[in-house]
Structure 1
Amino acid sequence: MKHKPLKGFGKFLMKLNNVNICIVDDEDIYFNKDMLNIASNAGFNKIDRYSKIDNKLLNRLQQKPYDIVILDVQGITEPDVAKDGMQIASLLSRTTCSYIVVTSAHQFHLVNEMTKVDYIMENKIQTSADFVDELIEIVDDFLNKKSSFYKKAVFKVGFSILKKSVA
């Protein structure tokens, strides 16, 4: 694992201020209360789950973005809000800094590369333990992507200091 100290620091900060996760899925069988309770016991304390995205929730997702948003591809939007979860994912990718995850019970929905997302959850049919493992993987990738900005900034500052000291 590269940058182990940085990852450890990120996980420490996550314990101080948990990662806010929003899950939107119209099927109650996926991401059910038992799965969310086990995830909470594993340290994922801030998970909100919704069945549909209406205008009020869409405004909330844009005005006060979650760290991670997990969206089902189909059946989660009101007709006046968006066509489907991919359209919501595209909108949130452009307008927020949220880490966007898409999922579907139908694999052929996930091959659509028209929308850039951060992570594709290919297997929505999971046990609670599998769900927690996938959340850990998602949060690790989220921390890696968010910390890459800081790594680049630290490198640039260090390089400019080195350049000034050599000159």
Structure 2
Amino acid sequence: MTKQEILSQIETLSDRDIKALARTLNALSNMKENKYPFLGNFLGVVEEDSENETEFVCSMPIGREVLNPYRIVYGGITATLADMAMGWMLERRISGKDKFVTLDMNVNYHKAGTGKRLIATARVVNQAQDIWQMACDVRNDRDELVVTTTGTFLQLRRGKE
């Protein structure tokens, strides 16, 4: 699609569609500033303060774009938030240029994703060489448990800084 075709289509969008397009454009712009991937920026994932240094906390707002036809957050979105929280914690915890990839993840759904925000709390369960076992709980803004997850991550060694 050309730039002109895109601009022509924008003229036909509803106000609701314009909001979704603005969110997409903001996510693309924010990627340049915060170096966080598009999906995290699109979902509005932000790091939260945590009083417990053995945990990592992040959250995302619940908006129309993440709701399924039953008006609850898509299960895959909730699982993505947990995956991001666990990976983000590892990248914050490890110095250098090392990266992490998810090898395995188990998700247990306990309650529908409703409310205004989802809050993910990640922690390390175990580490054996380059394999990290993680856990994450996702709650809504009413402190109701929505999801519990466990994940196995591989540390990709990228050398020293």
**TM-score range with shorter-chain normalisation?**
under 0.3
Structure in which a larger fraction of residues adopt strand:
2
TM-score by length of 2: 0.23
Structure in which a larger fraction of residues adopt helix:
1
